[in-house]
A and B are shown apart, each in its own frame.
Chain A
């Protein structure tokens, strides 16, 4: 009788212990993005991307850290009033001080990153972005999860120049705001190593408010007769309008940007014009199914939940940015900002679940190696308006070879903050 009771007691104790194991801390993740207003068209897909990333783990029982504990992930979105620096700080204060968030995905906009750098570092909240934007040795809790923007512009334009030797003239079409300025500098940096055979024939920024009237903007660009147009700053509708106008003005070269909303383009332009002309590169585009099965599944989940019309490449960009954090959590003893950071920087490289082995870099630009240089898939549109994989840029190798030339342009464009 007594042995039975003690066996029962032992079993009960074991059961109790395993229950308490399963009820470990919830990992709180914050996404600071525009949740309302005009910029919500980017902020909402980004927030959704992170939510779906968390959902994948939560439905499988949670994400496991190196100690073997599983954690549920709780994602909360915070509004930063269309990338206003002061509001970014307020959002971070809410997230960190009120809600106890330990990991935050934010914009790469340098002003916004600078605004929160001291707060995040003080509170050991690992703050990442889908790009670098601003990093510093003084603020080690600011990292860049993936190559992302604005660096991707540099790699995209250099890839196109290398793959298409008949490109001799490039037009840089960017808006006069901080994203546009950064893009302009990085586009120029990507062209810098090829100045012996490539010329920049247009690089005047336009007033974003004027983008409603495409003619005035497109006219001078067409007159400069480029072979390749690289852009950043048009909204999806304006992009389509721009391509249409350029076609009407007789342009027959290539277009490149971080992303295109394809159904807007296919609405207005014939397939034979679009075929092989529209290039994009921005971390990863989940609507392209061959690069990564996991990302393709994410696309299906997104479209199922929100509908095809709501798809935006920014969702997969955010999803991919979180995979670096995911790798860090899985390598850390406990899912705190401090432990995950230590785990991520234990080696010079991180094995990212989507992109493979990637190296920490950034010291030449930012003074700290806190930017994970993941390989960059480049996409092109086919005749059906679908995005296909054109190639993958070995970002690390390009930077090693061309950093000197690129850095001059980056410095001139005010993008270098390393002392």
Chain B
């Protein structure tokens, strides 16, 4: 039972930062290397919010408000990123990769200058644990699971059921066709990037109480996210969910079994293996 809870917790943890990346990658075929830094900035926004406003309104309220703050900050950065970088380099995905990589280095230094290299701690505004049978799960983890599930389901509804979502999917599946249908690819592109960035920021705020906040938490999280969307497949949100679940399970079992040191190697080999057999990932569309 405990293991099942661990898997659920870890999967939602992985989904957090993979979700936004999968969206942007799937729709625009753009890898935003600064995604990790948007995640990090979301976490710092949460910290600032709780520190500055918390004493007046209470930690929990400030924490909920910080989601909005994180979304605004990263949303604005997403707009900026689109206008300055992505729109100009649309046809060169590798160049966008390097440009956003350069941006991520810059953001890290800025945050180090502002907040110092050591990092901050944000205790969970929802303390305590819940017992299910003889297994335990802290409320903060429950919150993460609920929040991310809500976010994922919300995203799914948006993509599948709304007008906007239809346009986004059109661009993802066939950009030329979409243009012919009268869909503004630039506007969809910008919306997607902004949405992806906001998801990254809010995820950072959600995860902030769990691991500690450092200027480099984004970089660490990003590699895992890459592995997940590669295995899940381009263009597939459900693929990302499935891959997150797959790795959540494998990683939990291996760590519990004491084989934790072989995790990175196993993950890399799984990734290679999946790609050998299914070059577009588990649920990806053929290029």
Residues of A in contact with B (beta carbons under 8 Å apart): 36-38, 40-41, 44-45, 176, 204-207, 209-217, 219-220, 235-238, 240-241, 245, 248-249, 261, 263-264, 267-268, 309-310, 312
Contacts and interface: CB of A to CB of B under 8 A. Distances in A.
B206 interface: no
Given A212-B221, A216-B256, A237-B121, A310 B116 contact: yes
B9 A213 contact: yes
A389 to B, nearest CB: 24
Given A209-B220, A209-B264, A236-B118, A216 B6 contact: yes
A206 B212 contact: no
Contacts of B122: 267
B261 interface: yes
Among B3, B121, B124, B224, residue most surrounded by chain A Cβ atoms (within 10 Å): B121
Contacts of B258: 204, 220
A217 B2 CA distance: 12
A241 B6 contact: no
Interface residues of B, number: 46
Interface string B203-239: 0000000111111100111011000000000000000
Contact of A312 (B5, B118, B121, B216): B118
A176 B261 contact: yes
Given A206-B260, A207-B264, A237-B212, A215 B121 contact: no
Contacts of B220: 38, 209, 212
Is the contact region of chain B dominated by helix, strand, or loop, or is it mixed? helix
A237 B116 contact: no
B260 A241 contact: no
A220 B118 contact: no
A240 B124 CA distance: 12
Nearest to A40: B117
A248 B141 CA distance: 12
A211 to B, nearest CB: 8
What are the 10 closest A-B residue pairs judged by CB atoms, nearest first? A237-B212, A204-B258, A176-B261, A216-B255, A38-B216, A264-B121, A207-B263, A40-B117, A206-B260, A41-B117
B138 interface: yes
A248 B10 contact: no
B252 interface: yes
A229 to B, nearest CB: 16
Contacts of B223: 209
A209 B223 CA distance: 10
Given A219-B6, A220-B256, A213 B13 contact: yes
A159 to B, nearest CB: 28
Contacts of B136: 248-249
A37 B216 contact: yes
Among A41, A176, A211, residue most surrounded by chain B Cβ atoms (within 10 Å): A41
Nearest to A38: B216
Contacts of A213: 6, 9-10, 13, 251
Among B138, B219, B221, residue most surrounded by chain A Cβ atoms (within 10 Å): B138
A185 to B, nearest CB: 15
Contacts, number: 117
A217 B118 contact: no
A245 B138 CA distance: 8
Is the contact region of chain A dominated by helix, strand, or loop, or is it mixed? helix
Interface string B1-25: 0110110011001000000000000
A268 B127 CA distance: 9
B261 A238 contact: no
A40 B112 contact: yes
A267 B51 CA distance: 12
B58 interface: no
B138 A248 contact: yes
Interface in B187-214: 210-214
A215 B6 contact: yes
A268 B121 contact: yes
A206 B264 CA distance: 11
Contacts of A205: 260-261
B255 A237 contact: no
Nearest to B115: A309
Contacts of B108: 37
A207 to B, nearest CB: 4
A176 B260 contact: yes
A223 to B, nearest CB: 9
Contact of B214 (A235, A241, A310): A235
B94 interface: no
B260 A219 contact: no
B214 A41 contact: yes
A210 B121 CA distance: 18
B109 interface: yes
A34 to B, nearest CB: 9
Among B3, B6, B124, B261, residue most surrounded by chain A Cβ atoms (within 10 Å): B261
Contacts of A217: 255, 260
Given A176-B261, A219-B2, A236-B212, 20 more contacts: A38-B214, A205-B261, A206-B255, A206-B261, A207-B255, A207-B260, A210-B251, A211-B211, A212-B211, A213-B6, A216-B6, A217-B255, A237-B119, A237-B121, A238-B212, A240-B212, A245-B138, A309-B116, A310-B116, A310-B118
